[in-house]
Structure formats: C-alpha cells, structure tokens
Amino acid sequence: MSWLTAEQALTLLGTKSQTLYANVSRGRIRAKPDPADTRRSLYFTDDVKRLATRHAGRRKTEAVAAEAIQWGDPVLPSALSTVFNGGLFYRGQNAAKLAERASLEDVAILLWDMKRPLRLEEGEMRRKLPSLNAAFSALAERTTTDLPSLGRSLPALQGEAESVLATVADALAPGSADKPLHQRLAVAWDRPDAGDLIRRCLVLLADHELNASTFTARITASAGATLSAAALSGLSTLTGPLHGGAWQSVRSLIARAATIGAEEAVRSYLAEGRPLPAFGHQLYPDVDIRAEALLRCLTLPPLFAEVRDVGEQLVGERVNVDFAVTAMTHAFHLPEDAPLIIFALARTVGWLAHAMEQATSGRLIRPRARYVGPPLQ
C-alpha cells in the first residue's frame, strides 16, 4: 500500500492542513508515523484520493454511491461494529481484547444488546460432525415457517435469534447445549487442545462492518423476511471464494510451496499477475488485527511461516485473517473445511445482529441501478 507525505496529501486535497488533520481524526484518512521521521505522519493514498475526488464538487450522486459500495465511505448507519485506526470494535469494545477472554456467546449478548444471558436450546439433529449442508437445510426449512421480522419488538427478535443460532450451532457445532460453542467444535473434531484458539477465532470473526454476506443479510431483513432467511442469505454469500471461501486459495498457495518451495511459489504467483492469497486487507493498511491476535497465540507450521516471511518481504503486505485461520487448521489437523465452518458459525451472530438492527429500523434497502445498456427506444 502506498502512503503520501502531508505536502503531497494537501496538494491532492487542495485544502489547509487543519482540514487534513480533521479528516484523520474522523477516520476518513488513515495515517501512520513516518519511519524516516517519527515527528511527521504519512497518509494512506487511497483515502486521500477518494476524499479529493469527493471534494472536487463535480461528481453526480450516482458516482458517489457507486464508489461507496466498493470499499468506500459508509453507506448506512450501524451501532454494531467498525474498523477504525487499525482496530476492530464491537459496540465500541476492542474485538482483539475481547478475544483474550470472551466466548462467541458473550459477543452475541453484546452485539444483540441483550440484557440477559444467552439461552441456546438443545438441538434435534444429534449429528456427530459439523456439516455446512445441514446448516443450509435447517435454515431453509425454517424460512417458510418462522414469522417475518418486520413489525416485531426487539425482545421478540432476540428470542428468535437465539433459536436461529441454536439451529445453526446444531449443524456446525454439534454437542450439548450446556457447553460453549468453541468447546463443542473442538470436541466434535476430536481436538480439545484447539478449543482456545477456536474460541478466539469465533470472537474475531463474529462481525466486520458491512462485508458482502452481512450486507446481503441486511437487505434480506430490510424486506421483512425472517431472521432465518437473513442468516441463510448471509451463509450463501459467505461460501464465495472472495469471502469465506478464501481459505481454499491459501491452501493452494501452501500446496504449491510444498512442491516448489516457498519463495518460488510466491514468485510464480506474482509472475503470473495473480494477487497473493491472504496478504493485505483493504480496511487494514498496516496489519489485519484479527490475524495478529491469532498469530500471537499460534506457532505457525514451518511451511506457513516460510510463505508468510517470503510473501511479506516480496509483496510488502502482512498476512490477513484467512491465512491465520488456515494455518491454525493445519497446525491442529482440523478438517479441511474447518475455516469455513468456524467462519459461518461466528458470522451467524453478526448476521442476526444486523438483521435485527435493520428490521427494527423499518427501512427497505433499495438502491437504484445506473443504466449503461443500449439506448432506450
């Protein structure tokens, strides 16, 4: 990622230094100390350029909206989570600090704004292994029988959210309801020693602003659909290779490194013009705090460590959470699809939180399309 000096940023923005500092304090432009002179700051180029374009005063509303939908400015209000100054926060609380002690159930209580302990009912499936297919089937079955979300009180929705989470947990973390979800997963995979890292993963992956699956869940809820339908739409989106399926690209990179060596594998990706999987993140110009929080507690398998070191040196980006979760899966000999199972279980809490927030707002999310087709007849 590229950075600008204050002089360069001010030239692009065409404003005074006070305006630049104000935009930094409001989180619109990310800044970091200049390694060459810690008394000075550098400013994230993409943030400066985006703001400079906005301030040009010649853009139409549709252009602003189009940019906002792709890693741009916030598009709707939410009290649930935000990425700010390199940190991830759930209702104002630092997610990395929460991961040191909290469980996914604790995060559900926080994000759902509940005033009582979480109660997850015993499931009926009694399956032995986590199954994504079972989660899809169970949610799909509920969508036709659950009540619509619109016009219901928050306590009523919270009670239903518990039930939906219990349904997903029964499929993805089978086990007794009196055990925390991370323990249920660890036992289901017969890896009790992985329990604490699974817990940390679940907390760190519970929510992440308006990512693709969460935005999908909010759109579903905005139409008044059931909470189970919102969770199902989020789960469907999560399976994409650019979202929850990113772990597969990491595995492919590691497999190539195992065959031809870490440095040659990284160089071959770059020579082919392909982005290196799981390095860098648009919202974290320095380091993905979720990856950092996990890697502090994990000894990387040797090949993963070598790929990380070579990749960070050649690309100039730090590994992100997809790399960390895939490395954890390998280190503890978890099933190949463990990253997606963990991701789906964790993010169900976030999807439900956003669905409830959207439903209680009473607003339909209905953007317009900017027509670029053949001339109208």
The verdict on 47 and 154 lying in the same domain is no
Co-location of 296 and 259 in the same domain: yes
- Residues belonging to the active site: 281, 322
Distance (Å, whole) CA 157 – CA 349: 13
Total Cβ atoms within 10 A of residue 128:
9
Please state whether 273 falls in left (phi above 0), alpha (psi between -120 and 50) or beta. Answer: left
Cα–Cα distance measured from residue 272 to residue 173, given in angstroms and rounded to the nearest whole number? 39
Whether residue 177 sits in one domain with residue 137 = yes
Coil vs helix vs strand at 182:
helix
**SS3 state at 319:** strand
Q: Are residues 202 and 265 in the same domain?
A: yes
Residues 64 and 100 in one domain: no
Q: What is the pLDDT of residue 1?
A: 64
| Six-digit token string for 78 | 């939410």
Same domain, residue pair 164 and 296: yes
What distance in Å separates the CA atoms of residue 82 and residue 89, rounded to the nearest whole number?
A: 5
Residue 268 has pLDDT above 80, yes or no: yes
Query: 62 and 102 share a domain?
Result: no
In a domain, 29, yes or no: yes
Choose the most confident range, by mean pLDDT, from 29-38, 40-49, 352-361. Answer: 352-361
Are residues 32 and 118 both part of a single domain?
no
Per-residue pLDDT tens digits for 229-238: 999 999 999 9
Q: What is the pLDDT of residues 201-260, one digit of tens each?
A: 999 999 999 999 999 999 999 999 999 999 999 999 999 988 888 889 999 999 999 999
Give the pLDDT score at 9. Answer: 86
Evaluate whether 53 touches 72 at the Cβ level (below 8 Å): no
Q: At which residue do the structure tokens 């990284």 appear?
A: 266
Q: What is the DSSP string of 19-83?
A: HHHHHHHTTSS-EEEETTEEEEEEEEHHHHHHHHHHTTS---HHHHHHHHTTT-S--S--SSEEE
pLDDT of 77-91, one tens digit each?
A: 999 999 998 999 999
**Contact assessment for residue 179 and residue 124, using Cβ atoms and an 8 Å cutoff:** no
- pTM as predicted: 0.83
Q: Do 343 and 204 have their domain in common? A: yes
Residue 93 is given by DSSP the state: E
Same domain, 63 and 133: no
Token pair of 286 as six digits: 């320095």
Instruction: Check which CATH number belongs to the domain holding 103 and give it.
Output: 1.10.580
Q: Give percent of the chain with pLDDT exceeding 70.
A: 92
128 belongs to a structural domain:
yes
Domain of residue 52, residue span: 3-68
Q: Calculate mean pLDDT across residues 136-164.
A: 95
Do 35 and 152 belong together in one domain? no
Number of domains observed in the structure of the chain? 2
Rounded CA gap, 105 and 98, in Å?
Answer: 12
Q: Are 171 and 164 in contact (CB under 8 A)?
A: no
252 found inside a domain:
yes
Confirm whether 186 is domain-assigned.
Answer: yes
Q: Do 199 and 314 belong together in one domain? A: yes
80 is a domain residue: no
